[in-house]
Every structure is written in C-alpha cells, then in structure tokens.
Amino acid sequence: MSDANLALDHQFLTVGEGEAAREIAYIVRPGAATSAGPALVWLSGYRSDMSGTKAIELDRLAAESGLACIRLDYSGHGLSGGTFADGTISRWLEEALAVILHVGPDRAILVGSSMGGWIALRLAQELLKKGGAPKLDGMVLIAPAPDFTSDLIEPNLSKKEQKSLAERGFFEERSAYSLEPNIYTRSLLEDGRENRVLTGIIETGCPVHILQGMKDPDVPYQHAMKLVEHLPADDVVLTFVRDGDHRLSRPQDIERMLQAVKGLVR
C-alpha cells in the first residue's frame, strides 16, 4: 500500500436500504485551513479502485496544493462491500453521489478514468438538479467511456456471448489488465441504456479537459470526438496522446493529467 493511503484513514458510508444496503469505502484528504480551492474527486474505471496510480498521484497533487481530495471504491470494488456482479451504472452513480454529498465540499473538480468519465458526466447532471450541491469547477476525463455498454460492447457481442447473456445472465471476457476475466451482466447492459448521455446535449456547467490515447484498444479515440460533439455549451479541451494506451498511466501521461487538473484549479 502506498504512503498516500497509509497516511489517511478509510471511512465507510452506508448507501442504499434493506437488501440493497452496502458499505462504501472512501478516503478524504482535508484541504488546508487557508485553502478556498475546490476538492478533487477521483472516479475510478471498471474494476479499478482508489489505490491505483492515477488516484494516488491526484491525491499527492492535492496534498502539495493544500486542496481536499475525495476518493471512493464503488460497491464490489476495492475495500467496499457489495457484490461486483450486482453493479450497474445507476448503482455506482448513487454511491459516488452519496459520498460527495456526505463530504459536502463547496466546489469540486471531477477526475474520471474510463467508466469513471461516464460516472462524472452523470454526476454533473445529477448535481445540477440538487439545491445546495457542490458547484463543479471542471472535470478531467481520461479515456472516457460514456455509454460504453451500448456503444462499445453490445454492437460487438459474439453469438456465444449473446447465448451466455440469454442463458446465464452474464458473459465473461478476457481482461488485458487482470488474470480474472471481465464479467458483463444483463443488468449492467440494460441499466447502461437508461444512463446514456450521448443522446443529446450534455450540460455539465463547467470546463472539460479530455485526455485520450490514440492507441487505446478499449475506447477508440473516435469515441472521445463523439463526446465532444455532445458538449457544445462547455469550454472543452481534447488532448490526443498519439502513442497513448487506455490506462494512460506512464509518467508522462500522469503529468498530463496533473497539468490538466492544475489548469482547472482557480
């Protein structure tokens, strides 16, 4: 475990009621007493957690800048309770929203990686509906994967995967990042259709900086271009990394992320 994680205590927030209740792990780095800057909020990708390299480096930036930083594990991920197979975009969105509202920063910058980019966009929509919710100063989206279930997975399902979904309620796919296969459930795909954002204008109310690798095997760079088309009202910067992969975790990629965040802190 990194020094950044050792220095801070994990906390747990119960989200949901009855059988749907689950304990969500989160870490809050308090901002400096003299800081009026926004809190940095880390939103992980599918099967990733708050102890990953990018999350730790974001926390380190917060510590150096005197800013608050909020990280969490979705249910079925990392230190949180719940079963991964029960996870859906709505469920993970509910958890991220609950943690942010519980911590209650006045302002925030959302930093979302892959699926976390989708969660960030949905959070922006939900926060705009709520009175007294944190104001977004911006968001940094790293290889964002909005609508990945309907746009990137469902159109490419093999007959074997379709049969597995119909008969078993899920299918497995070899992961390039883990010995354990990725599991995609019927519930995840069905719920994904209900959370699509690439269907009209996305109102975030804040500047957006997108970082996208052009050699990303999971989320084609054209997907980032499509996202930009749905953000006509926002100040959007799209940075292509010509030799970048999906994770964008090399030192030079981390530096791009940190510089993008610094550009939004004001």
The per-residue pLDDT for range 176-214, each reduced to its tens digit, is 777 788 899 999 999 999 999 999 999 999 999 999 999
Q: With 60 as the cut, is the pLDDT of residue 95 above it?
A: yes
**What pLDDT does 33 receive?**
81
Q: With 50 as the cut, is the pLDDT of residue 1 above it?
A: no
Q: Per-domain residue ranges for the chain?
A: 3-146+201-264
**What pLDDT does 34 receive?**
80
- pTM attached to this predicted model: 0.94
CATH class of the domain at 3-146+201-264 = alpha beta
Helical pair 186-194 and 89-103, crossing angle rounded to 10 deg: 60
Backbone phi, psi, residue 16, to 5°: 90, 170
- List helix spans (H) across 143-245: 148, 159-168, 186-194, 221-229
**What pLDDT does 36 receive?**
86
Nearest to 84 by CA among 94, 92, 95, 93: 92
| Tens digits of residue pLDDT in 26-59 | 999 999 988 889 999 999 999 999 999 999 999 9
